[in-house]
Amino acid sequence: MTIQKFFPYINNKMFAEDVALSDIAEKVGTPFYCYSNTAISHNFQDYKQAFANQDTLICYAVKANGNQAVLSTLAKLGSGADVVSEGEIRRARAAGIEANKIVYSGVAKIESEIEYALNEGIFQFNVESEPELELISQVASRLNKTAAIAFRINPDVCANTHAKISTGKSENKFGVPISKARIAYKQAASLPNLKVQGVDVHIGSQLTQLAPFEEAYKRIAQLVAELRSDGHDISVVDIGGGLGITYSDENIPSKQAYAAIAQTQLGHLGCKIIVEPGRSLLGNAGVLVSSVVFVKTGEERQFLMLDAGMNDLIRPSMYDAHHEILAVDISAAPNQTKTYDVVGPVCETGDTFSKNRQVHQSKSGDLIAIMSCGAYGAVMASTYNTRMLAPEVMVKDDEFAVVRARLSYEEVINTDSVPSWV
């Protein structure tokens, strides 16, 4: 799927499906996030078709975008959920995702979260460490329940992605080193109220090559064979997510090629395969629409100053991430561009979306679309500088709805309380 597929230009104006973004801006104000319901559904069905010949459970990675409209869309398509907190379990359940389709990841699960997950009856805990394993056993024993577990295995495979989203190297905080896996599984088999059923691996996010997946799955297949020889009944392999999207000019392998790697390396094991896509379902299904506040000419460069800031979209500041930046209306001068630093209003030099970028020549009041913002956009936003969170909008065909409203300043401020002694 290209960036523009569900956000096309029609008569030189950008649309979300069949709705002009300028019409939404007029009614909702800027900045706002806009998601294409059809894009989300299209991406999920791509995964479903790619893995159709394998016993597969697709568990959407809720951390990518936890909006209830997004989760409800995926729930109706039969999706499960990969969660990393009690809050995400609650979000998934509220949206209609069945508990027996939820896998619980995360490196620091606390006792109350484990208890909640057990009472809900989730499919599997992806265990990240031996101390966590012991805590799950203790809580399950107290509740007289059985916790199905898989260890997240760190295979020491380089994902060739950004250092902050690489999770499968030996120096990363995630998972049990593959060299210690058999010892960890032996401990799990000795503890009460645990069902040892799977192996989990997730080597990072925004992968653009298949070779790291192939190497990781090869190592996991060998481990499963060893664990079975040790007497463990391994019936589930969670292969993580991690397939990237096109932000600018990346060539992303197809979901069919990704599924073929899993089939080739793991198919002979006869295991249920769990896939945890997040970014590749939502990333290019959303945009952030902002208004130009000022065009400022500095000593060395020109600045396009937007009303969206790093509090709305932190990826460029945190990850040096590239997002295409396009004018919503190019009818005045379709081919006229200018070099800008595109920046926001937050009082930080890091509040910069791009530097020295060719963008359609713009003036105050023009609308700008920051592309590929459906994942890790609104979900990572904050009210830094006491800025209101951008609302979220979902479009389907020729209709749109606000799926998270913009909070008022009063609502933001009133989350605070002042003690009586102040």
Please state, in angstroms and rounded to a whole number, the distance separating the CA atoms of residues 218 and 234.
16
Using the structure block, give the residue that is written with the tokens 């990850």: 319
Using the structure block, give the residue that is written with the tokens 């590239």: 322
> Considering 34, 271, 347, 373, which one is annotated as catalytic?
347
Neighbours of 61 (CB within 10 A): 28
> To which H or E segment does residue 189 belong?
helix 181-190
> To which H or E segment does residue 355 belong?
strand 352-360
Q: φ, ψ for residue 72 (rounded to 5)?
A: -65, -40
266, 239 contact by CB (below 8 A)? yes
Using the structure block, give the residue that is written with the tokens 């996991």: 220
Please state, in angstroms and rounded to a whole number, the distance separating the CA atoms of residues 343 and 206.
24
The torsion region of residue 263 among left (phi > 0), alpha (psi -120 to 50) and beta comes to alpha
**347 annotated active-site:** yes
Please state, in angstroms and rounded to a whole number, the distance separating the CA atoms of residues 293 and 153.
48
Sequential DSSP letters for 273-293: EEE--SHHHHGGGEEEEEEEE
State the first-to-last Cα distance of the chain, in angstroms, to the nearest integer: 56
Neighbours of 308 (CB within 10 A): 28
- 50: which DSSP letter? H
Name every residue whose Cβ is closer than 8 Å to that of residue 284 and which is 6 or more positions away in sequence.
1, 2, 3, 5, 6, 39, 245, 246, 371, 372, 374
66, 75 contact by CB (below 8 A)? no
Q: Distance between alpha carbon 35 and the CA centroid of its chain, in Å?
A: 14
What residues act catalytically?
347
